[in-house]
Structures are given as C-alpha cells and as structure tokens.
Chain A
Amino acid sequence: MENDLNWAIGGEAGDGIDSTGKIFARALSRAGRHVFTSKDFASRIRGGYTAYKVRTAVDRVESVVDRLDILIALTERTIDENLDELRTGSVIIYDGEQTTMQDVEIPEDMIGLEVPLTDLAEGAGGAIMRNVVALGAACEVADFPVEYLDEALVKRFGEKGEAIVANNREAARLGRDYVHEETDCTSQFSLETTDEDYVLLNGDEAIGMAAIAAGCRFYAGYPITPATDIMEYLTGRIEAFGGAVVQAEDELSAINMALGAARAGARAMTGTSGPGIDLMSETFGLVATSETPLVIANVMRSGPSTGMPTKQEQGDLNAMLYGGHGEIPRFVLAPTTIGECFDRTVEAFNLAEKYQIPVYLTADLSMAVTEQTYPPERFDMDAVEIDRGKVVEGDAVDEWLDEKDRFRAHAATEDGVSPRALPGTPEAAHMTTGLEHDELGRRTEEEDVRVEQVQKRQRKVETAREREDFDYRAFGDSDAETLVLSWGSNEGAMREALEILDERGIDVRFLSVPYIYPRPDLTEEVQAAKTVIVVECNATGQFADLIEHDTLTRVERVTKYTGVRFMADELAEEIESAIAGQRAPPEVKR
C-alpha cells in the first residue's frame, strides 16, 4: 500500500480548480500529513487550462515530481496536458455523462473511473458542488477518510451558511459512496494520518506574516501577479497591530509612499513583481541616497515587459543588483524555501534599519503559488528580534550635533552608518534630499564632500559583509568532486535530485545561496571542485555570471526558462549530463 500520493485536479480556469485543490490540501495538513502544492494556470479569467497539484507524504516534501497517481479531469484537455505524468495504474476520475467527456479515451494501462459528478452533486443540492463530489471520490480511491474534508469545507463555505456546508459534506460522501458501491476500484493507497496539525501557507503569506512579526507597520502596493497575495495577507491583519496598508494608484506611488512612511519612522515595505521593479527604480536611488531603511519585495515572474505573468522565472537578478542609474548601495536577499521567506523577511527589516539602506527581498512565482505545510512552531513569533539600528534620542542626540547644534544625519562614520533620528526627536530636525548632500543633508557639489559621502554609503555594504552572517546552506557530500550552486526556489527540487543522483552513485555537493548581495565568497568551494554547475530559472545564467566573476572560474550552466520550475528528476538528468560534459540545451516540454 502506497502512503505517498500525487494528486491533481484540472479543468478550465473559472471551474473552481484552485479552491477545490486547497480544500484537499488543507484536509491533508489537518490530518497531520505534509503537503506540497503547485499550480498550472493562465489567468484568473475563465478559459484556459488550469490545474492544482498536491503531493503528500508523512515526511516532509520539498518539491513537485513528474508523477500523478490520481487525476480529477474536468476536461479532456486535462488528461492530454498530464499524459507525461500519468503512469501505469494511475486513476483518472471523470464525469462520463458530461457531453464533452463522452468520447474521452483513457490510456490502456490506466484506470478510468467514471463518476457522474454533476448528477450526484445535484442530488446533494446543486451541480455547483461537482468538484466536491470528485474530492469525495478521490478520497475513496486514496483510502483517506472523507471526514477530514469537513473542517476544510467549513473554512471554505462557512461564510455562506451552515446549509451550504452540510450540502458540501453530503456531496463529498456521495462521491465516496459511489466509488465504493458502484465501481470495482480498489485502493492501492493507505494514507496514514498523524496527530500533527500543520499550517499550510505560500511564500507571499510567509512574507506577510513575517513582516507583521518583524514590526512592519506600513505597506504600500499595487495589484500585480504574483505579489498581490502579500498585500492581501496584510490587508485586514496589520490594522490590529496598529499598522496600515495603502493600495497605491501605481508602483511609483507605492514605493514613494513607503519611502514617506519610513522617513516618518515606521518600518515600511512595498512589494511588486518585475514590471513594478522597473517603475520603482528611480525612487530606489532616492531611498539609497537619502539613506532610508526600506524593504522591497520582488516576487519574480517571466519577463521582460508583461512577459508571462503567471509563469516562473528568476530573471530579475541583474535588475535588482544593477537596476537604477548611478551606483546604488543595496542588499539583495533571496529566500530559497517558503519557510525561509519568513526568516529572510525578518532579517531584511533589521538589515534595512541597521544599515539605512534599501533591501530587495526576492521570491519567485513558484514560491508564491505553492503552498507547503509547516509545524506551527516553525514560525516562532517570540523569537523574532527587532534591531532598529542607530536610532538616537534624548541625550544621545547631543553627541551628533555639530558646532552650531545641527544634527549630522549623514555623518561619515567609520562603519558608514549615521545616527538616525526619527521625526519629532528634539534637537535633531534635519533635511533629506536625493541631491548629493553633506553630513547635514545640505545640497552640495564640493568634490571632497561628494567623495566622502559616496564612500560612506558604499562602506555600509563592506561593514555588513564583515558583521553579518551571509552564508549558504550545504547539502549532499561535502567531499564530492561536483559542486552545484543555486538560488531561490530551486532548492527543494535540487535536494530531491541529490537523492536520485545518490542512488545512481553520483556524489554531489550542493550549496543553496539565499544571499545575493552581499553574498558569501565561494572561491574556496568552487576551486576545490572538479565540476561546478549553477542551476537557475533564466536564459543567460545571471547567478552563474556572478560566480564566475567572484571566483574567476568557468562554471557549467543549467538553466530553464520555459515558464515552469525545475523538477527533481529533470534536474538529476541535467546534472548527470553536465558532469559527463555532453549537456544539450534543455528540451522544451510541450
């Protein structure tokens, strides 16, 4: 009996695929099972193929795999789209009575399970519940108690009243009973449950939760896929902590409002995706020059321009590292898992205030649309430390006044970080400008002052490099000849790829790097390896460029820019070929 399950529901956008998948994922997490979800989708509007995939096991799962055990197919196309992932014995649940599904051909070695979804749903109170009937049927196939759906159904339909919840519960049971009584489908699964009660969240939600925990009290943003979930998470929650979310009229306004709030003394944040980063880049320079602490979340999607708004890419690395004219000191953090989105967000706020600098916090679409389970204690709010840096008040202000009692807000200190006086601090009023300025904030073009201020601002990056722990996480065999490096959400798939490679007798050392700038010096690690492979979701190998630049060593590039994230088995193949030196360009999966 299989205890691990790969499950999916697919149909047209607008068919309720997303909410149905979420009900199942939630039920599994409440049953103490780990869950990793993924979505294939085009847009929120009806039309176009959409699927929600759930991978579940008792042990943690960190990626999607190229395999489906149970597929609920609401359209014929759903089956075609997933042919590569369906295996011998996979169960396809569909409504054969639906006119568009009457001629569906189920591949010979698979099990087609015809369930009259719409008819049964009507029996429970309405055709609209056909997805829930299908869920009940899938529970029976997976030998997973349908009762676990109940709580998730309350969460989804509770607002609509008890009757609706009861109807949905009934619908799920009708689906289960139909499979049990009317078909000869016997389950090859036995999904074990545990006493754990996991939280299920996506990367945007982890960022939003961490922002509140880290004392962020102002967020300004503009709707954009796939970053909107951060704003939606904070809206309605941050108020209880004395904070505010403001929806701007565009990204120019969003970052400038966040700048204003930060100047006013709040921990502030804005969030967007690539097109918004482009609009924000002018103010990004002002944030750095005025030495304003600000966190800018960039949840990457396929670019350039409108690109593929609902598809995965890690193509903004150069934009974040080099975007904006002139030389702008900055930090770039890139959490590699949903859980780490929480940690790096907290750190981003501390770094922003300790160094009075803009901090890019970047996730990618794969993390934003994936939900994963964690034990609640993974996110320990009490352990969150808030360091606001060199904020001065009271007598401490005196130390930073010049001979005419003016506050030296941009004093060129040894570590590059000046004292920070929040508005309202007596004796510490000062001006701020995007023009080059002296230590009092007065505009200047004097050569020595210009040089002093440029150096002081850049010095903050060097100070951070010395004081902070910008390290990587290591996996695999530390003595292996092959070194794999990656950033962002590839970590999960890469860790599973390590297991696959291990089974094939290939030893690999894998370093996952969450700090892009400043970043760990990898010279030693790179030079100790025979083959160095950099894995990332873009066409040119932007992170690979950095590694070559840092270490003066040529690396192999494993890139993917189809709009779909890496899968573990695919990565294992790529790495094996790269080691063999015969790597072909990645095949486009259609």
Chain B
Amino acid sequence: MSSDRQDQDFTDEVEHGEELWNPGHRACAGCGPALAMKYITEAAGPNTIVTNATGCMEVVSTPFPESSWGTSYIHNIFENAASVAAGVEAAYQSFDRRDPDHLDVSDEDDLNIIAIGGDGATADIGFRALSGMMERGHDVTYVMYDNEAYMNTGVQRSSQTPLGASTTTSPAGTESIGNDTNKKDMASIAADHGVEYVATASISNPHDFKQKVEKALEIDGPKFLHVYSPCPVGWSYESSKTVELAELAVETGLFPVFEMENGEITSVNKISDRKPVREWLETQGRFKHLFDGEEGEETIEALQEWIDGRAEDLGLDA
C-alpha cells in the first residue's frame, strides 16, 4: 500500500479553495496551535512567506506527500525560524532596491514574512536567533504559539511551562511538585529589544488575534506575537475543551492579553471578577497532584501570587 501512496498524486484531490491552512493536517483532535495557524494565515493572506521551526505545527502540516500550507513555506532547523526569516527579508529588501517592480516587503499588501515557532523553539532554543532578528530590525512578524511544553517529542518542560505542571522532565512525585518555575515573560523581553509592536492573544478570541496579526503586518520592522494555544495531549484534558481552557487561562489572569507599543503597554483586555487560578488548574491532568496535599496547596498559592503581581503591573483587573 505504501508504494501506491508514493505513486499517487494527492495534490489533485485537495481543494485548496480560499484556505491557506488546509484541513487534512495531522494535528490531534482539539489542537490549539492548529487553530492559531488557521487564524494567522486568514489574517495574513496568500502573499505570505512562512518560516516554521521544527515542532508540532511543522510535523502535522507536512506529511508526505501532502502539505496544509497555501502560502510559501520553509521548514528549518529547531532554533532558526527567526534567522531564516531574517535572511528571506534581507534578500527581498535587496531585490526591492534593484528592481522597483519586485514584491515590496515594506508594503503589507505585497509581501508578509512570518516566522512561526512553538514555545520551546522560540523561548528556549531559538531565543538567540529571535533576539538577533529583533535587534537588527528585520521586517518580520514572529508568532510564538504557546502550548507550554515540548509536545512533539513527548511533553518535556519548556520555559513557558507554568509553575506546578507535571511533564516528563518535571515529573510530579514525592520529591517534586512538578515544574518549579513561572512562565518566562517573552512579551517584555521582545519589547525591551525596542520592538515597536508586541502583543499577546489567545485562540479563544480569534477576532482579537487576527486583528493583532493584521496590525503587526502593517508595521515595518520586527513584531512579536505570543498566542496562547492549549494542547489536550500534553495538558491532559478532554479535547473538546481547548477553547474553553484557553479562555479560562485569560479569565484567571494566568495568560493576560495585552498590547505593547514602543515599550509601553497600550491596551489590556481587562477582566472583571478575575477567577482564582485554581479553577483553571482543576481542569487539567498535569496539575492533578497539586490537589493532593499541603505542598500542592502552597504551589497553587505561589502561582496565584505570581498572577496577582502581574495583574497589578498590567492593570488587568477591571
């Protein structure tokens, strides 16, 4: 059968239509990041070059002999999505100078260059490439889809894994409460590079996220977007709850949604009656151990304190 598959040309069978992130990809049921890809491409349109780091979204969108991408697409190595995007952008800038009829990177109607990476590929291994791209000022929109661990390799912690989460490399047990660090604040790090436009968004609010992608693409220079996208497999919850959990993360303040322009916070999606983080934790298997004893209780309190502190800094509460 596999030989038949190799001979078969599947490209005729797929109706691309208007879709730029096409159905039939291999993401798990309830995949949050897959929704993020859909929204990114819908907002960006067809004149887009995507550079994609190794990770779930690369693996699920490119099974031989198919592709989900209706845009130009290049996969690169784990740590290099920002560098490859920077190279693409620098080349186009140079083409522009030589040939006035060439696609113009700085005109958003002409060409968008978007780098996409997961939380591990962005905040961990791709951090220096991201920093270099932002610091040099390339006209690239970087989108980090955050599912809070390395899911493609089997749920190892990343610097975006929240406090208390059990992963295979931060397993909960008698000597451990799970992951012992809070999420690294990538938005502030990007803003501190002098990036003009930085925003966070959640897949639970597609309208907001797509508007932010559109806004980013209109601005020259580097942009950084952090989109929250739950993973049913890694977090251990019913796959129908993805959007609900993404929204609950926003409502508890675990994931605040805001924009920063030129280093200043310019808009915050305010929350009235912010829910305790406990309500969000209870929904996922990875936090189950926190409800077993005193140490878990202390961890929940510590996480709540961290959230409260950020909420105050951001002016999150309505």
A is bound by B = yes
What residues of chain A have their CB less than 8 Å away from a CB belonging to chain B? 14, 42-48, 77, 80-81, 83, 222-225, 228, 231-232, 235-236, 239, 245, 247, 249-251, 275, 279, 305-306, 590
Q: How far in angstroms is the closest Cβ of chain A from B206?
A: 23
Mask for B70-90, Cβ within 8 A of A = 1, else 0?
Answer: 000001011100000000000
**Are A48 and B26 in contact, CB atoms less than 8 angstroms apart?**
yes
Nearest-neighbour CB distance to chain A for B24, whole angstroms, equals 10
Q: Of A42, A44, A247, A250, which is within 8 A of B169 by CB?
A: A247
Which single member of A46, A236, A305 contacts B176 (CB below 8 Å)?
A236
Q: Are B175 and A239 in contact (CB under 8 A)?
A: yes
Main DSSP-derived SS at the B contact region: loop
- B266 within 8 A of partner (CB): no
With A43-B59, A46-B26 known as contacts, the answer to whether A223 contacts B120 (CB < 8 A) is yes
What are the residues of chain B within 8 A of A245 when measuring CB–CB? 169
Check if B2 sits within 8 Å of A306, measured CB to CB.
Answer: no
Complexed CA–CA distance, A47 and B63 (Å) = 9
List B residues 145-193 near A (Cβ within 8 Å): 150-154, 156-157, 159, 168-171, 173, 175-176
Min distance, Cβ A18 to any Cβ of chain B, angstroms: 10
B27 within 8 A of A: yes
Q: Decide yes or no whether B3 CB sits under 8 A from chain A.
A: yes
- State in angstroms the CA–CA spacing of A183 and B307 once bound together: 60
Task: Kindly state the separation between the CA atoms of A444 and B124 in the bound complex, as whole angstroms.
Answer: 36
Please indicate the chain A residues that have their CB under 8 angstroms from the CB of B1 in the complex: 77, 80-81, 83
**What are 21 A-B pairs at a CB distance below 8 A?**
A42-B63, A43-B152, A45-B56, A45-B151, A45-B152, A45-B233, A46-B28, A47-B63, A48-B26, A222-B124, A222-B125, A223-B150, A228-B154, A232-B169, A239-B175, A247-B157, A249-B125, A250-B78, A250-B79, A279-B79, A306-B54
Pairs A-B, 6 closest by C-beta atoms: A47-B26, A80-B1, A590-B3, A250-B125, A249-B124, A223-B156
CA distance A29 to B127 in the complex (A): 45
Complex Cα gap A228–B54 (Å) = 16
Contact A228 B2 (CB under 8 A): no
A42 to B170 Cα, complex, angstroms: 25
B8 at the A/B interface (Cβ < 8 Å)?
no
Q: Do A247 and B156 touch across chains, with their CB atoms under 8 A apart?
A: yes
Which of B29, B77, B125, B169 has a CB less than 8 Å from the CB of A231? B169
Closest CB of chain B to A282's CB: distance in Å?
Answer: 14
The answer to whether A228 touches B153 (Cβ under 8 A) is yes
Scoring A45, A232, A250, A306 by chain B CB atoms within 10 A of each residue's CB, the highest score goes to: A45
Complex formed: what's the CA distance from A247 to B120 in Å?
Answer: 12
Query: Chain B residues with Cβ under 8 A from A305's Cβ?
Result: 77
Chain B nearest CB: distance from A480 CB in Å?
Answer: 37
Q: Is there an interface contact between B6 and A590, defined as CB atoms closer than 8 Å? A: yes
- B2: which A residues are within 8 A, CB to CB? 80-81, 590
Residue of B6, B27, B169, B173 ringed by the most chain A CB atoms within 10 A? B169
Set A81, A249, A279: member contacting B159, Cβ < 8 A: A249
Given A228-B153, A250-B125: A306 in contact with B75 (beta carbons within 8 A): yes
Instruction: List A contacts of B27 (CB < 8 A).
Output: 45-47
Interface-central residue, A77, A81, A306, by most chain B CB under 10 Å: A306
Contacts of B77 in A (CB 8 A): 275, 305-306
Closest to B172 in A: A236
What is the distance, in angstroms, from B308's C-beta to the closest C-beta of chain A?
A: 28
The answer to whether the Cβ of B60 comes within 8 Å of any Cβ in the partner chain is yes
B28 surroundings in chain A (CB, below 8 A)? 14, 45-46
Chain B nearest Cβ from A283, distance in angstroms: 15
A232-B169, A247-B169 known; A45+B175 contact, CB < 8 A = no
Given contacts A45-B26, A306-B54, 17 further A-B contacts (CB under 8 A): A44-B153, A45-B56, A45-B152, A47-B26, A81-B1, A225-B153, A228-B168, A231-B156, A231-B169, A235-B169, A235-B170, A235-B171, A247-B170, A249-B124, A250-B78, A250-B79, A590-B3
**Which residues, 213 to 253 on B, are CB-close (under 8 Å) to A?**
233
Q: Contact check, A45 vs B171: say whether CB atoms are below 8 A apart.
A: no
A232 to chain B, nearest CB (A): 5
Set of chain A residues within 8 Å of B60, measured between Cβ atoms:
45, 47
How far apart are the CA atoms of A471 and B154 in the complex, in Å?
38
Q: Which residues of A contact B125 (CB under 8 A)?
A: 222, 249-251
B4-41 interface with A by 8 A CB criterion: 6, 26-29
A-side contacts of B151, CB under 8 Å: 44-45
**Chain A positions within 8 Å of B75 at CB level:** 306
- Complex CA distance for A275 and B54, rounded to whole angstroms: 12
**Chain B window 108-128, contacts with chain A (Cβ cutoff 8 Å), 1 for yes, 0 for no:** 000000000000100011010
A232 to B75, CA, bound (A): 28
Cβ–Cβ contact A235 & B168, under 8 A: yes
Residues of A within 8 A of B124 (CB): 222, 249-250
Set of chain B residues within 8 Å of A43, measured between Cβ atoms: 59, 152
A81 to B77, CA, bound (A): 30
- From A80, A222, A225, A249, give the contact of B127 (CB < 8 A): A249
Bound Cα distance A81, B59 (Å): 21
Given the complex of chains A and B, what is the CA–CA distance between A83 and B29 in angstroms?
30
The smallest C-beta distance from B98 to any residue of chain A, in angstroms, reads 31
- Look across to chain B and name the residue whose beta carbon is closest to the beta carbon of A47: B26
Question: Contact between A223 and B79 (Cβ–Cβ < 8 Å)?
Answer: no
- Could you tell me the distance in whole angstroms from the C-beta of B286 to the nearest C-beta in chain A? 13
Q: How far is the CB of A581 from chain B (nearest CB, A)?
A: 30
Q: Which residues of the partner chain A approach B6 to less than 8 Å between Cβ atoms?
A: 590
Q: Which of A48, A245, A249, A590 has the most CB of B within 10 A?
A: A249
Nearest B-chain residue to A77, judged by Cβ = B1
CB contacts (< 8 Å) of B154 on chain A: these are 44, 223, 228
Distance of A427 Cα from B168 Cα, bound (Å): 43
Q: How far is the CA of A306 from the CA of B127 in the complex (A)?
A: 19
| C-alpha gap A14/B194 in the complex (Å) | 43
Cβ < 8 Å to A, chain B residues 286-313 = none
Q: Does A232 lie within 8 Å of B168, measured CB to CB? A: yes
Chain A contacts for B3, CB-based, 8 A: 590
Cα–Cα, bound, A251→B128 (Å): 13
Nearest chain B CB to A587 CB, angstrom units: 12
Which residue in B26, B56, B156, B171 is a CB contact (below 8 Å) of A236? B171
CA distance in complex: A225, B175 (Å): 27
Q: Taking the nearest CB of chain B, how far is it from the CB of A504, in angstroms?
A: 30
Chain B proximity of A523: nearest CB distance (Å): 41
What is the bound-complex CA distance between A44 and B26, given in angstroms? 11
Complex Cα spacing A590 to B7, Å? 11
Distance (whole angstroms) from the CB of B160 to the closest CB of chain A: 11
* Closest CB in chain B relative to A157 CB, distance in Å: 14
Within the complex, what minimum Cβ distance (angstroms) separates A567 from chain B?
Answer: 17
Note all chain B residues with C-beta closer than 8 A to A232: 156, 168-169
Q: Which residues of B contact A46 (CB under 8 A)?
A: 26-29, 233
Residues of B within 8 A of A225 (CB): 153
Pick from A42, A48, A231, A235 the residue with the most CB of B within 10 Å: A235
Chain B nearest Cβ from A335, distance in angstroms: 23
How many angstroms from the CA of A304 to the CA of B170 in the assembled complex? 30
B170 cross-chain contacts in A, Cβ below 8 A:
235, 247
Q: How far is the CA of A429 from the CA of B171 in the complex (A)?
A: 39
Set B63, B159, B169: member contacting A223, Cβ < 8 A = B169
A200, B78: Cα distance in complex, Å: 33
A80 cross-chain contacts in B, Cβ below 8 A: 1-2
**Is B152 in contact with A236, judged by CB distance below 8 angstroms?**
no
